[in-house]
Structure 1
Amino acid sequence: MDLFSHSWTALRTAVAELPDEDFARPSGCAGWLVRDLVCHLIIDAQDVLITLVTPTEAEPNRDAVTYWDIVEPPTGDDPLDALIVRLAAAYEQPWLLKFHLDDVGSAAGRAAELADPEVRVSTRDVVLTTGDYLSAYVLEWTLHHLDLIAYLTDAAEPPAEALARSREMLEEIAGAAFPPSFSDRDALLIGTGRRAPDGSQRAALGELAGRLPLAIG
Structure 2
Amino acid sequence: MDDFSRSWTALRAAVAALPDEDFARPSGCASWLVRDLVCHLVVDAQDVLITLATPADGEPTRDAATYWEVSDAPPTGDDPLDALTVRLAAAYGDPALLRFHLDDVGSAAGRAAVLADPSARVSTRDQILTVADYLSAYVLEWTLHHLDLIAHLTGVEGPPPEGLARSRRLLETIAGTAFPTSLTDVDALLVGTGRRPGALPPLYLG
Cα drift, residue 21 of structure 1:
0.3
The aligned counterpart of 2:50 is 50
**Equivalence for 1:96:** 97
* CA deviation profile, 1:61-92 (whole Å, cap 9, x unmatched): 11111111103422333222111100000000
Q: Does 1:163 align with 2:164?
A: yes
**Aligned AA (1:111):** A
The runs of 5 or more residues in structure 2 that have no matched partner are none
Separation in 1 of the partners of 2:82 and 2:137? 22
2:125 aligns with 124
Structure 1 contact 112–134 (Cα < 8 Å) conserved: yes
- Indicate the residue corresponding to 1:112 in structure 2: 113
RMSD: 0.8
Residue aligned with 1:122, SS: strand
- Percent identical among aligned pairs is 75
2:31 maps to 31
2:78 aligned partner, one-letter code:
D
- Residue 175 of structure 1 corresponds to 176
CA distance in 2, matches of 1:74, 1:40: 15
Structure 2 counterpart of 1:214: 203
Matched ranges for 1:127-206 at <5 A: 127-197=128-198, 202=199
TM-score between both structures, scaled by the size of structure 1: 0.93
Q: Would you say the 8 A contact 1:30–1:75 is kept in 2?
A: no
Code of the aligned partner of 1:8: W
Name the SS of the counterpart of 2:178 in structure 1. Answer: coil
Code of the residue aligned with 1:47 in structure 2: it is D
Separation in structure 1 between the aligned mates of residue 19 and residue 77 of structure 2, nearest angstrom: 25
The range that moved more, 60-69 or 43-52, is 60-69
Which residue identity does 1:104 align to in structure 2?
V
Task: Give distance in 1, aligned partners of 2:189 and 2:36.
Answer: 21
Q: Are the aligned partners of 1:7 and 1:158 in contact in 2 as well (CA < 8 Å)?
A: yes
| Structure 1 counterpart SS, 2:70 | coil
Check the 8 A contact 1:26/1:33 in 2, yes or no: yes
Map 1:63-78 → 2, pairs under 5 A? 63-71=63-71, 72-78=73-79
- Please give the alpha-carbon distance, in whole angstroms, between the structure 1 residues aligned to 2:69 and 2:204: 8
- Name the SS for the 2:122 alignment partner: strand
Using structure 2 for the length normalisation, give the TM-score: 0.98
User: Aligned partners of 1:112, 1:125: CA distance in 2, in Å?
Assistant: 20
Number of aligned residue pairs: give it: 205
Post-superposition offset of 1:15: 0.2
Measure the CA separation in 2 of the matches of 1:216 and 1:136. 11
Residue in 1 that maps onto 2:61: 61
C-alpha contact (below 8 Å) 1:31/1:75 kept by paired residues: no
Structure 1 gap ranges (5+): 203-208
